[in-house]
Amino acid sequence: MLSKSKYALSVLVVFLLAGCQEEAAKSDSAKAPAPKVQVGVVTIEAQKTDLIAELPGRTTSSLVAEIRPQVGGIVKKRFFEEGQNVKTGDLLYELDDSTYVSSYTQAQADLESANASLKSAQLKQERYSELRKQNNVSQQDLDDAQVAYLEARAKQKGSEAALENAQINLGYTEIKSPIDGRIGISRVTVGALVTASQAAVMTTVRSLDPIFVDLSQTSLDQLQQRTFLAQDGVERGSNKVSLILEDGTEYQYKGSLKAREISVDESTGSVTLRAEFPNPDNLLLPGMFVRGLIHELTHNSAILVPQQAVSRDVKGNPVALVVNDNNVVESRILKVERTLANQWLVLSGIKSGEKVIVEGSMKVKSGDEVTTVAMKRDSETGVIVDANASSTQGN
């Protein structure tokens, strides 16, 4: 019995010692600090940034001349090839001028007759003036001679005007281009009858160099731009405009903003902005759909935060995690203005010099103590890279 008791006591001592060791291990484990999570951070620096607005638009001719006849007649000849370039004063159509030549000849004859009558009345008035000095004619006769002279002079001026009008109408039988440009398809043929100031155009000449681009900007965007311009460090841009064509390529020439419409289109809520572009190769044709990139504003101390550092809370507010000077994570609600490439333009919530988490944000929360690895944004590709220049794929 004694040996069995000693054996039981030995087993009990072993279990007690094991339990003490386990409690000691648990105590040591509780005292050991949890390992810190490593996160990648980008230090935010204020920088000068151009703010570019991308707007839809269409090209339109800088000058448009709709060719209509100013006198009636039969189209006798056409002098242009459809689609060719024409200069100011180039002859486009010739109308049958026989009736206008006749009218001009008649007006010349009437003027010659009026000149003869005027000369006769002038001589009579001069003669009666001399005779009246000698008291050989009455004052009434002299007055009648002076009135006849004035009437003859008025008729002569009327005949001159009639001749000038006949000459103008005769000149209108030659229809010329009023502007430089490219001429369109002829809507009339040789032998067609046209009338003065008819509604239907004969053809159209459009000036393509330079060419206008009408861009549409919402009235809300314009209000936001004015508000943004009132902030410190924000100034007006150069208003230079670049074009993106329908196939996605960039137009080789730069344009400039010329005018803004002074009223809002009630149906679309937008305002038209007109830009002018050189078009020496006639690549841009009226009616083409394009996108315009306008340098509207320049922010001299913009805060740009990588998009991958910004998420949304349950209320939809943009949020970023910031590591403070004590390496503790803080959650910040941001006020953002727009995206620029793959960055947010932040108006408030983050200051220059602060560190935002761009890698590992899913592993930490506000209040956690972390260790940081410096990251940077590649200026060429725009992606976030570490010290070894390896791109960051996500959080």
Q: List every span in the chain annotated with CATH 2.40.30.170.
A: 52-61+213-299
Distance CA 297, CA 53 (A): 9
Q: Which string of DSSP letters, residue by residue, matches 175-232?
A: EE-SSSEEE---SS-TT-EE-TT-SS-SEEEEEEEEEEEEEEEEHHHHHHHHHHHTST
CATH of domain 98-171: 1.10.287.470
- Alpha carbon distance 294, 48 (integer Å): 17
**52-61+213-299: which CATH architecture?**
Beta Barrel (2.40)
Q: Indicate the CATH number of 37-49+301-385 among 1.20.1270.30, 2.30.110.10, 3.40.47.10, 2.40.420.20.
A: 2.40.420.20
Question: Beta partners for 320?
Answer: 310, 332
User: CATH 2.40.420.20: which residues of the chain?
Assistant: 37-49+301-385
Give the SS3 label for residue 170.
helix
Whether the Cβ atoms of residue 163 and residue 110 lie closer than 8 Å to each other: yes
C-alpha 14/C-alpha 265 separation (Å) is 92
What are the E-state strand segments in 19-72? 37-43, 47-67
Q: Determine contact, residues 214/272, Cβ cutoff 8 Å.
A: yes
Instruction: Give the whole-angstrom CA distance, residue 324 versus residue 213.
Output: 49
Between strands 370-374 and 37-43, the pairing is: parallel
Each residue's pLDDT tens digit, 351-362: 888 889 888 888
Domain with CATH 2.40.50.100 in the chain: 70-95+173-200
pLDDT digits (tens, 9 = 90+) for 24-44: 445 554 455 667 888 888 888
Would you write out the chain's pLDDT as a tens digit for each of its 395 residues? 445 555 544 544 444 555 555 554 455 544 556 678 888 888 888 888 888 888 999 999 999 999 999 999 999 999 999 999 999 999 999 999 999 999 999 999 999 999 999 999 989 888 888 888 888 888 898 888 899 989 999 999 999 999 999 999 999 999 999 999 999 999 999 999 999 989 999 999 999 989 999 999 888 888 877 877 777 778 887 888 999 999 989 999 999 988 888 888 888 888 889 999 999 988 999 999 999 998 888 888 888 888 888 888 888 889 989 988 888 888 889 888 788 878 888 888 888 888 898 888 888 888 888 888 888 777 666 677 765 555 454 44
Identity of residue 11:
V
CATH level 2 (architecture), domain 70-95+173-200 = Beta Barrel (2.40)
Instruction: Report pLDDT digits (tens) over 335-350.
Output: 887 888 788 888 888 8
Phi, psi of 140 (to 5 degrees): -65, -40
